[in-house]
Structure 1
Amino acid sequence: MCHDGIGPRAVLRSVAFLTAGMLTVPALAGCGSEDPAGKPLAGADVADADRSDIADGGTLRWAVDTVPDTLNTFQADADTTTARIAEAVLPSMYRTDGRGRAVRNPDYLASAEVVDTEPKQVVVYKLAQQAVWSDGREIGAADFAAQWRALSGKDTAYWTARNAGYDRIEKVERGKNDLEVKVTFSRPYADWKSLFSPLYPKEVMGSPDSFNDGARKRLKVTAGPFTVDTVDTEEDEVVLARNPRWWGSPAKLQKIVLRAVPHDKRVSALSDGTIDLAEIDPEAAGRITAAALPQDGNEPLMGPEADRSAADALRSWAVANGSDEDAADEEISARKKLRKKAEKYARQQKALGGFEVRRSLEPAYTQLALNGAEGPLSDERVRRAVARALDREEIAKAVLKPLGLPAEPVGSHLALSGQAAYADSSGALGTPDAKEARALLSDAGWVPGGPVKEEKKDAKKDEGEEAAGSEADTEDEGASGDSEGSGDGEGGGGDDGTYIVGEDDGKAPQDSGTGTGRLKKGGAPAGAYAPQGTAAPARADTAPVAKDGKALVLRFVLPSGPGSKTLQTVAGRIATMLERIGIRTDISKVDNDSYFKDHIASGDFDLALYSWPATAFPATDARPVYSKPVPAADGSLNVEQNWTRVGTDQVDQLFDQAVATLDDSERRDLIRKADSRIWAAAGSIPLYQRPQLVAARETLANAGAFGFATPVYEDMGFLKKSAQGPQGSPGAKDDASASAD
C-alpha cells in the first residue's frame, strides 16, 4: 500500500490510561430510531447511458498506476490494478452497490443463503445455470473447494497474503446437483459473503506451484465479460479482450487497455489522445474544466505565463533589448523557452476540450495516525489532547469544498456514510476543545512555561526536516490550486483521494524567535521577567508545554514526492492547531517509496497521514488494523496492520463477537461499539473521505468516478454518434478508440 493509495479487498487492511467508566460512548440506535448509517455523501458520476445508445466495439484506454507484478489478488504484492483486472475477468459472488454494501451478483449466483446454524453454519450457493469458464467448463464445487484449500492457511506451501474467513471453513462439497455448492463452517462466520470474490479456477488454486507462479503473469482460464489478452511490461500495459464465452450482457467494448501512466504525465497523455479515462489531481481537473469553457478572451490567464505581471513582462523586454549582450542573450533564450511552454499549454488546452471531469468520493478516508508505542503519545491523555485540538470540519472543508464535494468529517473508523455499519461515534472522544486539550496535557504533566533544558543541535539539520511553524507557512503559501500526482495507495500509485490543496486562511502562529527550545529555566523566554502575580500574556495559553525539562515536540512524517502536496497542506493545518495548545511538530519529509516500509510500518514516526478503505465487511477487514499488538515468539511486537500500535482487549473482543454474529442488526451494533472504543483510544483520527476525480472522454459512457459501486465493465463504451448530441467530443469522433455506429 502506498502512502495514500488504497484498493478493494485485494489490498490488505491490520493499557488504556482512562478507565472504561470514564469513556464517553454515544448511545447506539435502538429499535424504531433513525438509521445512523445515513446516505452516501456523494453518488457515482459515470455518465449513465442505456446500452442501446452505446456503439458496439472500440477500445477504452484507461490509465492505471502500475502493470501489476501478479494477477493473483491473494498474493502479497497484488495491487489495485490486480483487483481491477480481477473484477473484469473473474467471477465475484457478491459485488458492492452504490451504498457500499455487498449485493448478490446475478451473473454468477442465483441465490445464496445460510440454511443451518446448528450444530454448524452451512451456506448453500446456487450458481447461475449458464456460468462457465472461458474453456467451456462449468463453474462448480471443485473451484470453490480448490480456493478454500489454497487459502485456508493449512498448507504453508501456498504463498497467501490472507486467509480470513477461509480458515473458518470445515468443508466444501457438491450440493444436490452440479449447480449447488455446500459450504460448512467450523466456526460461525458473519462475513461469509466476502468469500469466493473473486473466484479463481481450480487450475490456479489446485496446487502451490500454479497458485504461486502460474497466475502471476497470465490467466489462461477466466469467466468474466473480458479475458486477459496480454500483460506487456515493456509497453507498460495490460490488454483485456471481449470474452466470446460470456453469457451475460455482451461487453460493448472490444478491448480495454490498462496503461501505466504516472499521475504527473496524465494531462499530457489525455491531450495526446493516448488515454480516454484517468484518475487525476485537482490541478488537472481545473485545466480540463477550464478547457471546456467558452473562450471569450475574458477568462483568467492560466499556464506558464499566468504568474507574470505586466512589470515582469516589461522588465524582460528591457533586458532582452538592453545593451548588456550576455544578459540579453540569456533573456531572449528564456523568453523562447517560455513561449514554447505557452504554445504547448495552449495546444493541450484545445485537446482537453474533448474531456470532462467526473467527481465523487472514494470508499476510503484519510486519517491522522498517532504512534502510541513509545514517547509522549504512549500516554492516552496526550493522544486525546492531540485529537481534541483538531478541527476536523475545517480540515475536511479545506480539502473537499474547493472541489464542489460534500465536506463532512468522517465519523467512523470502520465504515463510511451510507454503509450499513456507519454511525458517527466521534462523540466517544469529544468535540474539538482547546481548553480541554490543554487540561489533558496538564494532567499528563505537560504544562505551559515549564523549564526546558537547552539541547545542542547540529548546525545543519537533517535533509528534509523542517520546524512546524515554517512548514505551515510554506504550505499555506502554496495552498491554492496546487496538486499532486498519485501513487492509494488509498496510496496513491493510487493516492487518488488526497491530491487536493485547499485554500488556507491563516499561517501558523510564530514564536517570535523563541522557538521550542529557547525557554530558559523557570519557563520565561530569554529576557522576559515579571513579578509574581502579573497577568499572563494574551498568548500564554499557546505557550509550548514541557515536562521534565523537555518540550513536547512530535515528529510528523510525510511523503515528499508526487502525491504529497495535499498531505503536506493538511499537515500544516494540523501543526497550527496543535501549536495552539502548546504542542510543536517537527515535519520530516521522506521519499515516497520509503514512506510506508521504512517509517509507518516500522513505527518511525509520531504523527503521520495515510488512508484506509472502508469495505462492506469491517468485522473481517478492519480487525488487523485495530487489533491489540501482541509479542511474537522472537520478542518482537506483532502489530499486523495496526501501525499506530494502539489497541485494547475490549476492541478485539467486540470484533470477535461481530464476526461470529449472524444477525445483521446485532453485528452492526457490535461494530459501532468497537468503533466508539477505537475513537476513545485515540490512536487514529479519521479526517475526511477522499475525493475521486476522473477525467473521461465526453463520449465515454458508464465509466468515471464510481464511488462505492463496483464497475460494470460490460456496459462501458462510447456513445453512438446519434446519441452524442451537439456537445459530442470532436476528439472522440476522430479517435480510433471511439467506435462509430
Structure 2
Amino acid sequence: MSHDVVGPRAVLRSAAFLTAGALAVSVLAACSSDEERSKPVAAQDIAPASRTLVADGGVLRWAVDALPPTLNTFQADTGPATARVAGAVLPSMFRLDANGRPQANPDFLESAKVVSTEPKQVVLYRLNQRAVWSDGREIGADDFAAQWRALSGKDSAYWTARNAGYDRIEKVERGANNLEVKVTFNKAYADWKSLFSPLYPKDVMGTPGGFNDGARKTLKVTAGPFSLQKIDQKAGEVTLSRNPRWWGSPAKLSEIVLVAVPRDKRAAAVAAGTVDIADVDPEEAGRVKAAAGDKGSAQGAAAGGQRYVVRKSLEPAYTQLALNGSRGPLADERVRRAVARAINRTELAGLVLKPLGLPAVPVGSHLALSGQDAYADNSGALGDQDTDQAKALLSEAGWVSGGPVKEKKAAGPEPKKAGGSGEPKKAGGSGEPKKADGTGQGKNADRPGGSAREDGKGYPGKDPGDHSKKQGGMPGAYAPEGTAAPGGAAVKTFAKDGKALELKFVLPSGPGSQTLRTVGDRIASMLGKVGIRVTITKVPDDSYFKDHIASGDYDLALYSWPASAFPATDARPIYAKPVPAADGSLTIEQNYTRVGTDQVNQLFDEAIVTLDEEDERNLVRKADARIWAAAGSIPLYQRPQLTATRENVANAGAFGFQTPIYEDMGFLKKGAKPSASPSS
C-alpha cells in the first residue's frame, strides 16, 4: 500500500465464502521449510544514499491527501497522514523491511522474544536504555501497560477502533527494571510483533479523556527523530521539527512539512515547486514529465529550475474484483467461479502496469504479496482463464446459453451493456473502499475506512458518432447496407427462467479512478464473450464505498486491500464467514463480498494461536487456497506506486513495503549522487 493509504494495522479487516470439496489436496500442500523465499515483484525506488552524502538541514515539503483528522492511530477516523506523523514522532517496536517482513527497531528495542509458552505465552521486551520521551521520562513498562488497558476492549469509555491482540493479553508487568516489560497472554498470539507499534505515552493512554480527545489535535509528548511542532489548519500544513532529545542517528532534515494537496492538484504543485515529494497518479506523472518538455525520460522541471524524477514501484496493496455472493446469480458459487474463469488476470495486470514500465505480474494470494513470508501463488485452486470451463460451470448452475429471455421494456435510455461496446451511462450514488485501485486507499485503500484511488491511463472507446441524420430514426439503429458483422459469431447470452444472466458492475466516476474504469470495461468485455451481460454503473467517488460496496448494492466492484505483515490477525475480518445477527441481519465485519466458510475461519483461528512461524505460514496459505476456490474475490494486480520527488531528495520516494526511515531522509550534498535505483 502506498504510505498515503490507511494500512491494515489502522483498520479492521474481513473474510470470504467457499465450499470444502472444491480444493485438490495438492493445492493445500504447504510449502516446505527450505523453499526459496519469494521476492517483491518490483524493488523500492527511494534514491538510497549513505548519510554522509546527505546535507544537514533543510525543509522537506511532502504532499498528503488531507490533514490528519486525529493523531491517534487507534481511532476510527485515522487517516494516512495520521500514520505518517506517528511514524516520525512515536516509538515502534517493529518496522517493516523492503520485503514486508517485521524487524525489531534497535532505536527502541535491545531485544524482544517469546520466553515461555507453558502454561502461557510470555514475551519479554528489553528496551533501549537511551529511549526517552520528549519530556525526559524514560520509555518503560508503565507506557506498555497503559496502552494495553486502553486497547484491551474491557473499558468501553475508550473509543477504540480495534483491539486485535491486546484483547489476548492477561497482564503487563515490569521486569527486573522499568526497561524490561513482561507481557503475558491469556491466549496464544502468533502476531505479537504487531503490538505496541506505535506506542503512545501513558499521558495519552492512561485515561479515556486523554485517549478520546487529548491526542486528536496535538501530541504534547513524543519520542522519535522528529516531534510535532504545529498543525496549521488554515494553511493546510503539519510541521514536524527535528527532535533535540533523539538518541538515534540525528535527523538530517530540520523539518518535514506535510502539505494537504488534493490528488488532482499535485502535478501543478510539483510544477510550481511548492512540494518536494508527492505520490501521484499515472496521468499526473505524465504531466510532471511534460512540464519540462521532457518526452522520453522520467524527469521534468519545476519553477525555479528544480528537477523532479518520478520514482516507481508497486504498492503493498492489491486490486481485486469483488463478487457479491449475497444476492442474485452470484449467490451460486458455480456462477462466481464461472466469472473468475472468464477473466484473464495477466491481461488485466498488463493493461495497468505495462504502460508504466512496471512488472505485469498477477497477484497470486489474498493474504500476502510476493516478498512476504506467507506468500504463495494459490490461484490454481480456482484455475486460469478458460472460456469453455466458464460456460460449463454456468450450464451446471442451470443457465442456458441462448435461452429465452422475457425482456423488459425500458422507460428511457438504458445504460450500455458492457461486454459490448461503448461507455455506459453515468449513474448516481456510490463511494469507494480503498477505492479499488486508487490510492488511498487504496488509499490504499484505501479503502474501508479511507480511500484507495487507483490510477492508470485510460483507454476510452471510440465515439461511434451519431448516425441518425444519415439513416433516419434512432442513433445507432441502422447500419449501411453491406456492413460486415463483427468477427466471429455473436455470443449467446445465458438465461434462466426467462431472465438473462446480467450483473451490475459499480465503478467510481472521479478523475482519479480512470484506471478502475479502464479495467472494469475490459472485465465486462471478457464476461460478454462468455455470455454474461454486464451493466456498468458509474457513481460519485464519495459514495462508491459507503453506498454500494459496504451496503451490498453491487454485483461486481473493484477495490483494493493493503497487504499486511500479520495476515492471521488483519485478514480474518475480511475473509471470515459472515455471522447472522439477532435482528436477522448479517454481521460481515469487512467481508464486503459476504462470502465465507467455516473452514476458512478455522484455519485463521489455528494460525493465530500457533507460535511456530512455519506452521503459521502454512495455515495462512491453506486459508488463502480456500478463499480462492470460493471465488468471492479475485486478486488482479499490485497497484502502481508513483512518487514525484525533487531530484536531489535522498532516501525517500516509492517505498514499496518498507517503513520510511525519517531520520535518513534529506537533500543530497552538492555534487553527490544516490546509489543506482530503478528509475535513475
- TM-score of the two chains, using structure 1 as the length reference: 0.82
Partner of 1:713: 662
Q: Is the counterpart of residue 107 in structure 1 residue 61 in structure 2?
A: no
Partner of 1:425: 378
Q: 1:238 to 1:350 in 2, by over 3 A?
A: closer
Contact 2:577 2:597 in 1 (8 A): yes
Contact 2:54 2:650 in 1 (8 A): yes
Q: 1:490 aligned to 436, 439, 444, which one?
A: 444
Partner of 2:518: 569
| Residue deviations 1:416-468 (CA, integer Å, cap 9, x gap) | 0010000000000011101000000011111111010121222145xxx5431
| Residue deviations 1:583-624 (CA, integer Å, cap 9, x gap) | 011111111111111111111100000000111000000000
Q: 1:467 aligned to 409, 412, 417, which one?
A: 417
Partner of 2:474: none
Amino acid paired to 2:244: P
Q: 1:593 to 1:495 in 2, by over 3 A?
A: closer
1:674-689, aligned counterparts within 5 Å?
674-689=623-638
| Residue deviations 1:365-384 (CA, integer Å, cap 9, x gap) | 00000000111000000000
3-state SS in 1 of match to 2:512: coil
Partner of 1:554: 503
Contact 1:25 1:428 in 2 (8 A): no
CA-CA distance at 1:278 after TM superposition:
0.1
3-state SS in 1 of match to 2:511: coil
Partner of 1:342: none
Q: 1:363 aligned to 304, 316, 320, which one?
A: 316
Q: Is the counterpart of residue 693 in structure 1 residue 649 in structure 2?
A: no
Q: Is the counterpart of residue 629 in structure 1 residue 578 in structure 2?
A: yes
Partner of 1:163: 163
CA-CA distance at 1:501 after TM superposition:
2.1
Contact 2:649 2:667 in 1 (8 A): yes
3-state SS in 2 of match to 1:563: helix
Amino acid paired to 2:572: R
| Residue deviations 1:234-274 (CA, integer Å, cap 9, x gap) | 21111111111111011111111111101111111111121
3-state SS in 1 of match to 2:320: strand
Q: 1:381 to 1:508 in 2, by over 3 A?
A: farther
Q: CA RMSD in A?
A: 2.6
* Between 708-717 and 47-56, the greater mean CA deviation after superposition: 47-56
**Alpha-carbon distance in 2 for matches of 1:290, 1:267:** 10
Partner of 1:387: 340
Q: 1:157 to 1:598 in 2, by over 3 A?
A: same
Partner of 2:397: 444
- TM-score of the two chains, using structure 2 as the length reference: 0.89
Contact 2:420 2:528 in 1 (8 A): no
Partner of 2:141: 141
**Alpha-carbon distance in 1 for matches of 2:64, 2:535:** 34
Amino acid paired to 2:443: G
| Residue deviations 1:131-168 (CA, integer Å, cap 9, x gap) | 00000001011100000001001111110000000000
Contact 1:10 1:80 in 2 (8 A): no
**Alpha-carbon distance in 1 for matches of 2:629, 2:456:** 29
3-state SS in 1 of match to 2:377: coil
Amino acid paired to 1:266: R
Partner of 1:190: 190
1:627-666, aligned counterparts within 5 Å?
627-666=576-615
CA-CA distance at 1:490 after TM superposition:
1.4
| Residue deviations 1:376-402 (CA, integer Å, cap 9, x gap) | 000000000000111000000110111
Q: Is the counterpart of residue 268 in structure 1 residue 217 in structure 2?
A: no
Amino acid paired to 1:488: G
3-state SS in 1 of match to 2:62: strand
CA-CA distance at 1:409 after TM superposition:
0.1
Amino acid paired to 1:121: Q
Amino acid paired to 1:491: A
Q: Is the counterpart of residue 71 in structure 1 residue 71 in structure 2?
A: yes
Q: 2:457 aligned to 495, 501, 504, which one?
A: 501
Amino acid paired to 1:638: T
Contact 2:61 2:275 in 1 (8 A): yes
Partner of 1:34: 35
**Alpha-carbon distance in 2 for matches of 1:33, 1:249:** 37
CA-CA distance at 1:40 after TM superposition:
0.6
Contact 1:496 1:692 in 2 (8 A): no
* Structure with greater helix share of residues: 1
**Alpha-carbon distance in 2 for matches of 1:17, 1:232:** 50
Show structure 1 runs of 5+ residues with no match. 301-346, 476-482, 510-536, 726-741
Q: 1:202 to 1:6 in 2, by over 3 A?
A: closer
**Alpha-carbon distance in 2 for matches of 1:474, 1:709:** 40
**Alpha-carbon distance in 2 for matches of 1:11, 1:685:** 21
3-state SS in 2 of match to 1:103: strand
* Between 281-290 and 632-641, the greater mean CA deviation after superposition: 281-290
Q: 1:654 to 1:214 in 2, by over 3 A?
A: same
CA-CA distance at 1:632 after TM superposition:
1.5
**Alpha-carbon distance in 1 for matches of 2:549, 2:497:** 28
Amino acid paired to 1:649: D
Contact 1:62 1:257 in 2 (8 A): yes
Amino acid paired to 1:490: N
CA-CA distance at 1:287 after TM superposition:
3.2
CA-CA distance at 1:496 after TM superposition:
6.5
**Alpha-carbon distance in 1 for matches of 2:439, 2:594:** 30
CA-CA distance at 1:9 after TM superposition:
1.8
| Residue deviations 1:523-573 (CA, integer Å, cap 9, x gap) | xxxxxxxxxxxxxx9956821110100001100011111321000000000
**Alpha-carbon distance in 2 for matches of 1:253, 1:18:** 55
Contact 2:23 2:629 in 1 (8 A): no
**Alpha-carbon distance in 1 for matches of 2:61, 2:243:** 18
Q: 1:484 to 1:269 in 2, by over 3 A?
A: farther
| Residue deviations 1:630-650 (CA, integer Å, cap 9, x gap) | 011232210000000000000
3-state SS in 2 of match to 1:564: helix
Amino acid paired to 2:565: A
Q: 1:541 to 1:670 in 2, by over 3 A?
A: farther
3-state SS in 2 of match to 1:453: coil
Q: 1:228 to 1:390 in 2, by over 3 A?
A: same
Contact 1:485 1:562 in 2 (8 A): no
3-state SS in 1 of match to 2:218: coil
3-state SS in 2 of match to 1:676: helix
Amino acid paired to 1:390: I
Amino acid paired to 1:280: V
Q: Is the counterpart of residue 411 in structure 1 residue 360 in structure 2?
A: no
3-state SS in 1 of match to 2:159: coil
CA-CA distance at 1:34 after TM superposition:
2.9
Contact 1:280 1:695 in 2 (8 A): yes
Contact 2:123 2:184 in 1 (8 A): yes
**Alpha-carbon distance in 2 for matches of 1:219, 1:113:** 30
Partner of 1:126: 126
Q: 1:87 to 1:29 in 2, by over 3 A?
A: same
**Alpha-carbon distance in 1 for matches of 2:333, 2:510:** 32
Which has more radius of gyration? 1
**Alpha-carbon distance in 2 for matches of 1:590, 1:606:** 14
**Alpha-carbon distance in 2 for matches of 1:358, 1:120:** 47
Count, aligned residues: 635
Amino acid paired to 2:629: A
Partner of 1:317: none
Show structure 2 runs of 5+ residues with no match. 426-436, 465-485, 675-680
Q: 1:576 to 1:207 in 2, by over 3 A?
A: same
Amino acid paired to 2:456: I
Partner of 1:20: 21
CA-CA distance at 1:352 after TM superposition:
7.5
Q: 1:471 to 1:693 in 2, by over 3 A?
A: farther
